[in-house]
Amino acid sequence: MPFLNDPVNFISGWMRSLLFGWGLPSGLVTVIIYFIGITVLVMFAMVLDIFLVWVERKVVARFQDRLGPNRIGPFGLIQPFADIIKLVIKEDITPTGADKLLFNLGPVLAIASVIILWAILPISSKIFGVDLNVAVLYLVAAGALGTLSIIVGGWASNNKYALLGAFRMVANMVSYEIPMVVVLLIPTILANSMSVQDITQAQSGMWFAVLSPLALLIFLISAIAELGRSPFDLNEAESEIVAGFHIEYTGMKFGLFYAGELLHAFTFGGFIAVLFFGGYGGFFGLEKLGIFSWLNNSFVQAVVFLAKAMFGYWVIMWIKYSMPRIRIDHMLTFNWKFLTPLSLVVLVNTAVLSKVLSGLPGWGYVLGMFLSNLIIGYITVEILRAYGRKQRKTEAIPSPQRLQN
Protein backbone atom coordinates (compact mmCIF):
# COMPACT_ATOMS: atom_id res chain seq x y z
CA MET A 1 0.00 0.00 0.00
CA PRO A 2 1.38 3.48 -0.89
CA PHE A 3 0.26 4.89 2.47
CA LEU A 4 2.20 2.33 4.54
CA ASN A 5 5.28 2.48 2.31
CA ASP A 6 5.56 6.29 2.37
CA PRO A 7 2.87 7.84 4.62
CA VAL A 8 4.43 11.31 4.82
CA ASN A 9 4.68 11.91 1.08
CA PHE A 10 1.30 10.25 0.51
CA ILE A 11 -0.48 12.58 2.94
CA SER A 12 1.58 15.57 1.79
CA GLY A 13 0.67 14.97 -1.86
CA TRP A 14 -3.02 14.58 -1.02
CA MET A 15 -3.01 17.81 1.02
CA ARG A 16 -1.17 19.71 -1.71
CA SER A 17 -3.72 18.70 -4.31
CA LEU A 18 -6.53 19.67 -1.93
CA LEU A 19 -5.05 23.09 -1.08
CA PHE A 20 -4.18 23.85 -4.69
CA GLY A 21 -7.77 23.06 -5.52
CA TRP A 22 -8.77 25.89 -3.19
CA GLY A 23 -6.68 28.29 -5.26
CA LEU A 24 -3.96 28.91 -2.62
CA PRO A 25 -0.48 29.99 -3.81
CA SER A 26 2.29 27.39 -3.70
CA GLY A 27 4.31 29.25 -1.06
CA LEU A 28 1.35 29.37 1.36
CA VAL A 29 0.58 25.70 0.69
CA THR A 30 4.15 24.75 1.62
CA VAL A 31 3.95 26.77 4.86
CA ILE A 32 0.62 25.17 5.80
CA ILE A 33 1.90 21.64 5.15
CA TYR A 34 5.08 22.26 7.17
CA PHE A 35 3.02 23.74 10.01
CA ILE A 36 0.70 20.72 10.06
CA GLY A 37 3.68 18.36 9.95
CA ILE A 38 5.34 20.09 12.91
CA THR A 39 2.05 20.05 14.85
CA VAL A 40 1.56 16.33 14.23
CA LEU A 41 5.15 15.57 15.33
CA VAL A 42 4.73 17.61 18.54
CA MET A 43 1.37 15.96 19.28
CA PHE A 44 2.89 12.50 18.77
CA ALA A 45 5.74 13.35 21.15
CA MET A 46 3.36 14.65 23.83
CA VAL A 47 0.98 11.67 23.55
CA LEU A 48 4.01 9.39 23.80
CA ASP A 49 5.05 11.34 26.90
CA ILE A 50 1.70 10.56 28.54
CA PHE A 51 2.24 6.86 27.78
CA LEU A 52 5.76 7.04 29.26
CA VAL A 53 4.32 8.21 32.60
CA TRP A 54 2.39 4.94 32.80
CA VAL A 55 5.37 2.87 31.61
CA GLU A 56 7.73 4.43 34.14
CA ARG A 57 5.39 3.81 37.05
CA LYS A 58 4.69 0.25 35.98
CA VAL A 59 8.37 -0.59 35.52
CA VAL A 60 9.48 0.84 38.86
CA ALA A 61 6.60 -1.01 40.51
CA ARG A 62 7.88 -4.29 39.09
CA PHE A 63 11.40 -3.52 40.25
CA GLN A 64 10.05 -2.87 43.77
CA ASP A 65 7.63 -5.82 43.81
CA ARG A 66 4.50 -3.64 43.53
CA LEU A 67 1.59 -3.47 41.10
CA GLY A 68 1.77 0.17 40.09
CA PRO A 69 -1.27 2.00 38.67
CA ASN A 70 -4.14 -0.51 38.43
CA ARG A 71 -7.32 1.29 39.51
CA ILE A 72 -8.19 3.90 36.88
CA GLY A 73 -8.88 2.16 33.59
CA PRO A 74 -7.65 -1.28 32.48
CA PHE A 75 -4.16 -1.92 33.88
CA GLY A 76 -4.24 1.68 35.16
CA LEU A 77 -3.90 3.13 31.65
CA ILE A 78 -6.13 6.13 32.47
CA GLN A 79 -4.02 7.07 35.52
CA PRO A 80 -1.75 9.52 33.57
CA PHE A 81 -4.81 11.48 32.42
CA ALA A 82 -6.00 11.73 36.02
CA ASP A 83 -2.56 13.04 36.96
CA ILE A 84 -2.74 15.66 34.19
CA ILE A 85 -6.15 16.85 35.40
CA LYS A 86 -4.79 17.08 38.94
CA LEU A 87 -1.81 19.17 37.80
CA VAL A 88 -3.97 21.47 35.65
CA ILE A 89 -6.45 22.31 38.46
CA LYS A 90 -3.75 22.82 41.10
CA GLU A 91 -3.08 26.39 42.19
CA ASP A 92 -0.42 28.17 40.16
CA ILE A 93 1.86 29.92 42.66
CA THR A 94 4.58 32.43 41.78
CA PRO A 95 6.97 33.12 44.69
CA THR A 96 7.31 36.64 46.03
CA GLY A 97 10.32 38.35 44.47
CA ALA A 98 10.59 35.89 41.59
CA ASP A 99 11.29 37.07 38.06
CA LYS A 100 7.89 36.25 36.59
CA LEU A 101 8.97 36.24 32.95
CA LEU A 102 11.92 33.90 33.44
CA PHE A 103 10.07 31.87 36.08
CA ASN A 104 7.34 31.05 33.55
CA LEU A 105 9.82 30.63 30.70
CA GLY A 106 11.86 27.90 32.45
CA PRO A 107 9.33 25.02 32.07
CA VAL A 108 8.62 26.01 28.46
CA LEU A 109 12.33 25.87 27.60
CA ALA A 110 12.63 22.50 29.38
CA ILE A 111 10.01 20.79 27.23
CA ALA A 112 11.00 22.70 24.06
CA SER A 113 14.63 21.57 24.37
CA VAL A 114 13.41 17.97 24.08
CA ILE A 115 10.80 18.41 21.36
CA ILE A 116 13.21 20.20 19.01
CA LEU A 117 15.40 17.08 19.10
CA TRP A 118 12.59 15.20 17.34
CA ALA A 119 13.19 17.40 14.30
CA ILE A 120 16.28 15.30 13.45
CA LEU A 121 15.20 11.95 14.92
CA PRO A 122 14.54 9.57 11.99
CA ILE A 123 11.57 7.32 12.83
CA SER A 124 11.90 5.63 9.42
CA SER A 125 13.59 6.30 6.10
CA LYS A 126 10.52 8.32 5.06
CA ILE A 127 9.32 9.68 8.42
CA PHE A 128 11.61 12.37 9.81
CA GLY A 129 11.59 16.12 10.33
CA VAL A 130 14.73 17.27 8.54
CA ASP A 131 17.95 15.59 7.45
CA LEU A 132 20.63 18.02 8.69
CA ASN A 133 24.19 17.47 7.53
CA VAL A 134 25.32 18.69 10.97
CA ALA A 135 22.70 16.83 13.03
CA VAL A 136 25.27 15.73 15.63
CA LEU A 137 26.11 19.37 16.36
CA TYR A 138 22.39 20.14 16.51
CA LEU A 139 22.02 17.46 19.20
CA VAL A 140 24.69 19.13 21.32
CA ALA A 141 23.19 22.60 20.82
CA ALA A 142 19.71 21.43 21.86
CA GLY A 143 21.22 20.02 25.05
CA ALA A 144 22.59 23.47 25.86
CA LEU A 145 19.03 24.83 25.70
CA GLY A 146 17.97 22.30 28.33
CA THR A 147 20.80 23.48 30.58
CA LEU A 148 19.62 27.05 30.13
CA SER A 149 16.07 26.12 31.20
CA ILE A 150 17.37 24.69 34.48
CA ILE A 151 19.54 27.65 35.42
CA VAL A 152 16.73 30.05 34.43
CA GLY A 153 14.19 28.17 36.57
CA GLY A 154 16.50 27.98 39.59
CA TRP A 155 17.69 31.59 39.42
CA ALA A 156 14.25 33.13 38.74
CA SER A 157 12.64 31.32 41.71
CA ASN A 158 14.26 33.66 44.26
CA ASN A 159 15.09 30.65 46.42
CA LYS A 160 18.60 29.77 47.52
CA TYR A 161 17.85 26.03 47.53
CA ALA A 162 16.48 26.18 43.99
CA LEU A 163 19.56 28.13 42.90
CA LEU A 164 21.86 25.62 44.57
CA GLY A 165 20.05 22.75 42.87
CA ALA A 166 20.36 24.53 39.52
CA PHE A 167 24.10 25.09 40.04
CA ARG A 168 24.63 21.41 40.87
CA MET A 169 22.65 20.34 37.82
CA VAL A 170 24.50 22.71 35.47
CA ALA A 171 27.87 21.56 36.86
CA ASN A 172 26.78 17.99 36.22
CA MET A 173 25.44 18.59 32.70
CA VAL A 174 28.33 20.76 31.52
CA SER A 175 30.87 18.24 32.82
CA TYR A 176 29.32 15.17 31.23
CA GLU A 177 28.69 16.92 27.93
CA ILE A 178 32.46 16.74 27.30
CA PRO A 179 32.72 12.93 26.99
CA MET A 180 29.35 12.89 25.21
CA VAL A 181 30.58 15.28 22.53
CA VAL A 182 33.79 13.26 22.17
CA VAL A 183 32.01 9.93 21.65
CA LEU A 184 29.53 11.56 19.25
CA LEU A 185 32.52 11.96 16.94
CA ILE A 186 32.96 8.17 16.81
CA PRO A 187 29.75 7.41 14.83
CA THR A 188 30.65 10.45 12.73
CA ILE A 189 34.05 8.94 11.88
CA LEU A 190 32.63 5.48 11.21
CA ALA A 191 29.88 6.84 8.93
CA ASN A 192 31.94 9.72 7.45
CA SER A 193 28.97 12.00 8.10
CA MET A 194 27.24 14.03 10.82
CA SER A 195 23.80 13.30 9.36
CA VAL A 196 21.76 10.89 11.49
CA GLN A 197 20.25 9.48 8.31
CA ASP A 198 23.72 8.67 6.95
CA ILE A 199 24.78 7.23 10.33
CA THR A 200 21.69 5.01 10.34
CA GLN A 201 22.24 3.77 6.80
CA ALA A 202 25.95 3.17 7.43
CA GLN A 203 24.96 0.49 9.97
CA SER A 204 23.01 -1.63 7.49
CA GLY A 205 25.85 -4.14 7.55
CA MET A 206 27.05 -3.91 11.17
CA TRP A 207 25.96 -1.90 14.21
CA PHE A 208 28.40 0.65 15.61
CA ALA A 209 27.72 -0.88 19.03
CA VAL A 210 29.80 -3.85 17.84
CA LEU A 211 32.53 -1.70 16.30
CA SER A 212 32.86 0.51 19.39
CA PRO A 213 31.09 -0.89 22.50
CA LEU A 214 33.09 1.45 24.75
CA ALA A 215 31.67 4.47 22.90
CA LEU A 216 28.17 3.10 23.51
CA LEU A 217 28.89 2.66 27.22
CA ILE A 218 30.34 6.17 27.57
CA PHE A 219 27.42 7.71 25.69
CA LEU A 220 24.93 5.85 27.90
CA ILE A 221 26.61 7.05 31.10
CA SER A 222 26.85 10.63 29.80
CA ALA A 223 23.20 10.56 28.70
CA ILE A 224 22.06 9.44 32.16
CA ALA A 225 24.11 12.23 33.75
CA GLU A 226 22.69 14.72 31.24
CA LEU A 227 19.19 13.61 32.21
CA GLY A 228 19.99 14.03 35.90
CA ARG A 229 18.81 10.51 36.68
CA SER A 230 20.17 8.22 39.39
CA PRO A 231 22.97 7.77 40.20
CA PHE A 232 23.56 11.32 38.90
CA ASP A 233 20.40 12.95 40.31
CA LEU A 234 21.97 15.16 42.96
CA ASN A 235 20.24 18.14 41.35
CA GLU A 236 16.86 16.78 42.39
CA ALA A 237 17.38 14.30 45.23
CA GLU A 238 13.84 12.93 45.13
CA SER A 239 14.09 11.25 48.53
CA GLU A 240 14.92 14.53 50.28
CA ILE A 241 12.71 17.45 51.32
CA VAL A 242 14.35 19.89 48.92
CA ALA A 243 13.50 18.96 45.32
CA GLY A 244 16.22 20.98 43.61
CA PHE A 245 15.87 23.68 40.99
CA HIS A 246 12.09 23.24 40.57
CA ILE A 247 11.15 23.36 44.26
CA GLU A 248 9.05 26.52 43.78
CA TYR A 249 7.11 25.23 40.77
CA THR A 250 3.54 24.01 41.21
CA GLY A 251 0.81 22.55 39.04
CA MET A 252 1.40 22.19 35.34
CA LYS A 253 4.68 24.14 35.44
CA PHE A 254 6.16 21.34 37.50
CA GLY A 255 4.38 18.91 35.16
CA LEU A 256 6.27 20.36 32.19
CA PHE A 257 9.62 19.76 33.92
CA TYR A 258 8.56 16.19 34.72
CA ALA A 259 7.22 15.56 31.22
CA GLY A 260 10.43 16.95 29.72
CA GLU A 261 12.53 14.57 31.82
CA LEU A 262 10.56 11.48 30.75
CA LEU A 263 10.45 12.44 27.08
CA HIS A 264 14.15 13.36 27.19
CA ALA A 265 14.97 9.87 28.51
CA PHE A 266 13.03 8.21 25.68
CA THR A 267 14.60 10.59 23.15
CA PHE A 268 18.08 9.61 24.32
CA GLY A 269 16.97 5.99 23.97
CA GLY A 270 16.11 6.87 20.37
CA PHE A 271 19.51 8.44 19.75
CA ILE A 272 21.24 5.41 21.26
CA ALA A 273 19.29 3.32 18.75
CA VAL A 274 20.23 5.63 15.87
CA LEU A 275 23.90 6.11 16.72
CA PHE A 276 24.80 2.56 17.77
CA PHE A 277 22.05 0.08 16.81
CA GLY A 278 21.11 1.09 13.28
CA GLY A 279 17.97 3.07 14.15
CA TYR A 280 15.04 2.03 12.00
CA GLY A 281 17.36 -0.21 9.96
CA GLY A 282 20.39 -2.18 10.94
CA PHE A 283 19.06 -5.49 9.62
CA PHE A 284 22.61 -6.62 8.69
CA GLY A 285 21.84 -6.33 4.98
CA LEU A 286 18.73 -8.55 5.04
CA GLU A 287 16.55 -5.76 3.63
CA LYS A 288 18.56 -5.96 0.40
CA LEU A 289 17.39 -9.53 -0.20
CA GLY A 290 14.14 -10.05 -2.08
CA ILE A 291 12.45 -12.18 0.59
CA PHE A 292 13.14 -9.52 3.24
CA SER A 293 12.17 -6.50 1.16
CA TRP A 294 9.27 -5.87 3.55
CA LEU A 295 11.87 -4.51 6.00
CA ASN A 296 12.01 -1.40 3.78
CA ASN A 297 8.37 -0.65 4.63
CA SER A 298 8.09 2.64 6.55
CA PHE A 299 5.58 1.20 9.02
CA VAL A 300 7.88 -1.74 9.85
CA GLN A 301 10.85 0.60 10.20
CA ALA A 302 8.88 2.86 12.57
CA VAL A 303 7.97 -0.14 14.75
CA VAL A 304 11.62 -1.28 14.78
CA PHE A 305 12.85 2.19 15.74
CA LEU A 306 10.30 2.63 18.55
CA ALA A 307 11.13 -0.83 19.90
CA LYS A 308 14.86 -0.05 19.99
CA ALA A 309 14.21 3.37 21.56
CA MET A 310 11.96 1.78 24.19
CA PHE A 311 14.67 -0.75 25.01
CA GLY A 312 17.18 2.09 25.50
CA TYR A 313 14.65 3.88 27.70
CA TRP A 314 14.14 0.67 29.70
CA VAL A 315 17.90 0.37 30.28
CA ILE A 316 17.96 3.97 31.56
CA MET A 317 15.07 3.16 33.91
CA TRP A 318 16.78 -0.05 35.01
CA ILE A 319 19.90 1.85 36.02
CA LYS A 320 17.91 4.63 37.72
CA TYR A 321 15.96 2.29 39.97
CA SER A 322 18.91 0.01 40.75
CA MET A 323 21.82 2.35 41.49
CA PRO A 324 22.35 4.44 44.64
CA ARG A 325 23.01 8.16 44.47
CA ILE A 326 26.67 9.21 44.60
CA ARG A 327 28.33 12.27 46.10
CA ILE A 328 28.76 15.28 43.85
CA ASP A 329 32.56 15.38 44.22
CA HIS A 330 32.75 11.68 43.35
CA MET A 331 30.47 12.30 40.39
CA LEU A 332 32.61 15.11 38.97
CA THR A 333 35.85 13.26 39.71
CA PHE A 334 34.53 10.21 37.85
CA ASN A 335 33.87 12.39 34.81
CA TRP A 336 37.04 14.48 34.65
CA LYS A 337 39.56 11.87 35.82
CA PHE A 338 38.10 8.75 34.20
CA LEU A 339 35.31 9.17 31.65
CA THR A 340 36.77 12.11 29.70
CA PRO A 341 40.28 10.59 29.28
CA LEU A 342 38.75 7.23 28.35
CA SER A 343 36.51 8.86 25.71
CA LEU A 344 39.53 10.60 24.18
CA VAL A 345 41.47 7.32 24.05
CA VAL A 346 38.54 5.57 22.35
CA LEU A 347 38.19 8.44 19.87
CA VAL A 348 41.87 8.36 18.89
CA ASN A 349 41.77 4.56 18.62
CA THR A 350 38.71 4.71 16.34
CA ALA A 351 40.16 7.46 14.15
CA VAL A 352 43.46 5.64 13.64
CA LEU A 353 42.12 2.10 13.17
CA SER A 354 39.34 3.18 10.82
CA LYS A 355 42.06 4.28 8.40
CA VAL A 356 44.51 1.47 9.08
CA LEU A 357 41.89 -1.28 8.72
CA SER A 358 39.98 0.29 5.84
CA GLY A 359 41.68 -1.98 3.30
CA LEU A 360 40.70 -5.22 5.06
CA PRO A 361 37.58 -7.27 4.24
CA GLY A 362 34.42 -6.41 6.16
CA TRP A 363 34.86 -9.11 8.83
CA GLY A 364 38.51 -8.10 9.38
CA TYR A 365 37.54 -4.46 9.91
CA VAL A 366 34.79 -5.40 12.38
CA LEU A 367 37.02 -7.84 14.28
CA GLY A 368 39.89 -5.35 14.50
CA MET A 369 37.69 -2.54 15.83
CA PHE A 370 35.97 -4.82 18.35
CA LEU A 371 39.21 -6.36 19.66
CA SER A 372 40.80 -2.92 20.06
CA ASN A 373 37.91 -1.92 22.31
CA LEU A 374 38.34 -5.10 24.34
CA ILE A 375 42.05 -4.34 24.80
CA ILE A 376 41.32 -0.76 25.90
CA GLY A 377 38.67 -2.06 28.30
CA TYR A 378 41.06 -4.64 29.77
CA ILE A 379 43.83 -2.06 30.27
CA THR A 380 41.33 0.31 31.89
CA VAL A 381 40.16 -2.37 34.33
CA GLU A 382 43.75 -3.21 35.26
CA ILE A 383 44.55 0.45 35.90
CA LEU A 384 41.48 0.73 38.13
CA ARG A 385 42.48 -2.41 40.02
CA ALA A 386 45.97 -1.04 40.64
CA TYR A 387 44.51 2.27 41.81
CA GLY A 388 42.09 0.43 44.11
CA ARG A 389 44.89 -1.63 45.68
CA LYS A 390 46.91 1.55 46.26
CA GLN A 391 43.95 3.26 47.90
CA ARG A 392 43.27 0.28 50.19
CA LYS A 393 46.92 0.21 51.30
CA THR A 394 46.80 3.94 51.99
CA GLU A 395 43.63 3.64 54.04
CA ALA A 396 45.11 0.74 56.03
CA ILE A 397 47.88 3.00 57.36
CA PRO A 398 46.95 4.65 60.72
CA SER A 399 46.08 8.34 60.40
CA PRO A 400 49.12 9.87 62.23
CA GLN A 401 51.53 7.70 60.23
CA ARG A 402 49.68 8.57 57.00
CA LEU A 403 50.17 12.28 57.72
CA GLN A 404 53.89 11.77 58.37
CA ASN A 405 54.27 9.94 55.05
**Number of structural domains the chain divides into:** 3
Q: Residue 374 sits in which domain range?
A: 367-405
pLDDT tier at 380, thresholds 50, 70, 90: very high
Q: What is the DSSP string of 99-127?
A: -HHHHHHHHHHHHHHHHGGGGT--SSSS-
- pLDDT for the residue numbered 237: 55
State yes or no: pLDDT of 91 exceeds 70.
yes
Amino acid letter at 386?
A
Of 120-124, 275-279, 395-399, the one with minimum mean pLDDT is 395-399
* Statement to judge: residues 236 and 299 lie in one domain: yes
Q: Domain check: are 274 and 399 in the same one?
A: no
Out of 25, 56, 86, pick the residue that ends a domain.
Answer: 86
284 found inside a domain: yes
Q: Dihedral, CA atoms, 194, 266, 125, 133, nearest 10 degrees?
A: -20
User: Which tens digits make up the pLDDT trace of 109-134?
Assistant: 888 888 899 888 888 888 888 888 88
The mean of the pLDDT values for the chain is 85
pLDDT confidence band for 289 (50 / 70 / 90): low
Residues 127 and 272 in one domain: yes
Residue 155 lies in a domain: yes
Closest CA to 335 of 169, 222, 181: 222
Q: Tell me, yes or no, whether 135 and 281 share the same domain.
A: yes
Could you tell me if residue 267 is inside a domain? Answer: yes
Return the higher-pLDDT residue of 217 and 143. Answer: 217
**Alpha-carbon span 242 to 238, nearest angstrom:** 8
Is residue 190 within 8 Å of 350, Cβ to Cβ? yes
Residue 88 and residue 192: Cα distance in Å, rounded? Answer: 47
In a shared domain, residues 224 and 350? yes
Q: What is the mean pLDDT of residues 151-169?
A: 86
Both 23 and 168 in one domain: the answer is no
Angle at 344 between CA 343 and CA 348, to 5 degrees: 120
pTM of the predicted structure, to 2 decimals: 0.89
Q: Are residues 300 and 384 in the same domain?
A: no
Asked if 252 and 297 count as a contact pair (C-beta separation under 8 A), the reply is no
Per-residue pLDDT of 311-359, as tens digits, reads 999 999 888 888 887 878 888 888 998 999 999 999 999 999 988 888 7
pLDDT band at 402 (very low <50, low <70, confident <90, very high): low
Q: Are residues 161 and 268 in the same domain?
A: yes
